[in-house]
Structure 1
Amino acid sequence: MQLPLTQACTWKGLLLLVSCMFLCIYVTATPYDQIANEELYDNVLSWSRRTHRVAQKMYKVLDSKVTERVCFKNKKNNTCQSTSTHTVKITEDLLKVIINVSNAWIYPLKMLIPAVFIHLGSHDGMLARAIELSYGNKVVLEGAKILLSKIQPGIEENDYPDSDLWPDLKELRSHNKSTHLPAFCKLFYCLRKDTKKIKCHLRALKHGIIKNRC
């Protein structure tokens, strides 16, 4: 059963709730710039593993309990806008790939939370997972930026445009299932793929290995 959109439960109220939940997490976190590199790698890698598990679970729930395997059947048609073609030769390159991919997800994950609340909020903790994914992605991004800044101080960030990169996001707002469910399938598929890539790259970095493919 889908949750209806009512006046008593506006997007503004939802975002206020999300902000409060983030605040509870942030106040207990240790700033990344205050910990050693080895601990920082461990922390960021731990969060990347966590976000990948959450992304996997969200895709599985959507595919098996909501769309009745439509996501799996159509996955070959999915093209992920955040796919990186950057050639990796040194540690800095690998960190830049992680930063670019994580940056690319900031906006869609922000839009995903209210969309999940409206269409998928009643399914097996999906809203809580969407919130955790958004936070975890920011944690990984912040950690990767600090690691890179220690190697290349003063490096400029590469921010992705909000709407140009994600033309399918508007379909998440549709109340038509045939429109918003395929959009969720594509988004969750790419989330699962990209969080796995980030986890793989961070694990390689921790062990001093440079890999072009994950």
Structure 2
Amino acid sequence: MQLSLTQACTWKGLLLLVSCMILWISVTPTPYDQMSNEELYDNLLSCSHRTHVVARKMYKILDLNVAERRCFKNKRNNTCHTTSTHTAKTNEDLLKVIISVSNAWIHPLKMLIPAVLTHLGSYDGMMARAIELNYGNKKILEGAKFLLSRIQPGIEENDYPVWSNLKELRSSNKSIHLFAFCKFFYCLRKDTKKIKGYLQILRPNIIKNKW
């Protein structure tokens, strides 16, 4: 079935949005200060894995079912707002990059939810996935900050890159917002994979209690 990307927001989409947010608000996670470094790490790695899976799935759905492979054809032209993020060498650097990249996605993921509701609706669970990505990224950011604070108490946050063309996601022009979605999900898939990879690099030091 071909989806119209210009469809208006529906009451079903709004209901889905509200119900998903109520579900997550009602969940009370274990406070990070009650976790060991290893427990906190396992929590972060599980969350990053799930977030990457969801981001990859959304890109695939958009590319195959909505954009008709235009995302794949244009991916070489995509320059992500986090491209300039420096390569990490130490444990602290790894966490700082994770924090920087996660911070860079806070506002874009917040803006993704109304854009998906407007143009993609509840197509194949896209709305629920957008909300899950927003939630997962916040949890990764919160956990990484807490873990870093145990290594370097009182550390100040660095500046993070900003996505400059979010308004294109809400454009009424089909070609414009479709290309924006392609770039958004391409970069999100790439960055969630980077975060997961950096967390996996940290594993030996967490397990061996080198912190």
TM-score band by shorter chain is 0.7 to 0.9
What's the secondary structure of 2:68's corresponding residue? coil
| Change in 2 beyond 3 A, CA 1:107/1:32 | same
What's the secondary structure of 1:136's corresponding residue? helix
* Aligned residues of 1:116 and 1:130 also touching (Cα < 8 A): yes
Note the alpha carbon deviations across 1:112-156, whole angstroms, 9 max, x for none. Answer: 001001111232100000000010001111110011000000111
**Match of 1:145?**
145
**Match of 1:108?**
108
Regions of 4+ moved over 6 Å: 8-11
1:176 CA drift (Å): 1.6
CA distance in 2, matches of 1:43, 1:102: 16
Paired residues for 1:3-22 under 5 Å: 3-5=7-9, 19-22=21-24
**TM-score using structure 1 length:** 0.87
Note the alpha carbon deviations across 1:49-103, whole angstroms, 9 max, x for none. Answer: 0000000000000000000000000000000001244242311011000000000
Bigger CA drift: 149-158 or 185-194?
Answer: 149-158
Identity across the alignment (%): 68
CA distance in 2, matches of 1:85, 1:57: 24
**TM-score using structure 2 length:** 0.88
Kindly report the root-mean-square deviation, in angstroms, between the aligned alpha carbons of the 2 structures. 2.2
Paired residues for 1:88-103 under 5 Å: 88-103=88-103
1:159 CA drift (Å): 4.7
Gaps of 5+ in 2: 207-211
* Aligned residues of 2:16 and 2:128 also touching (Cα < 8 A): no
**Match of 1:174?**
171
CA distance in 1, matches of 2:128, 2:16: 12
Give the partner amino acid of 1:149: S
* Aligned residues of 2:59 and 2:185 also touching (Cα < 8 A): yes
Gaps of 5+ in 1: 210-214
CA distance in 2, matches of 1:66, 1:198: 27
**Match of 2:32?**
32
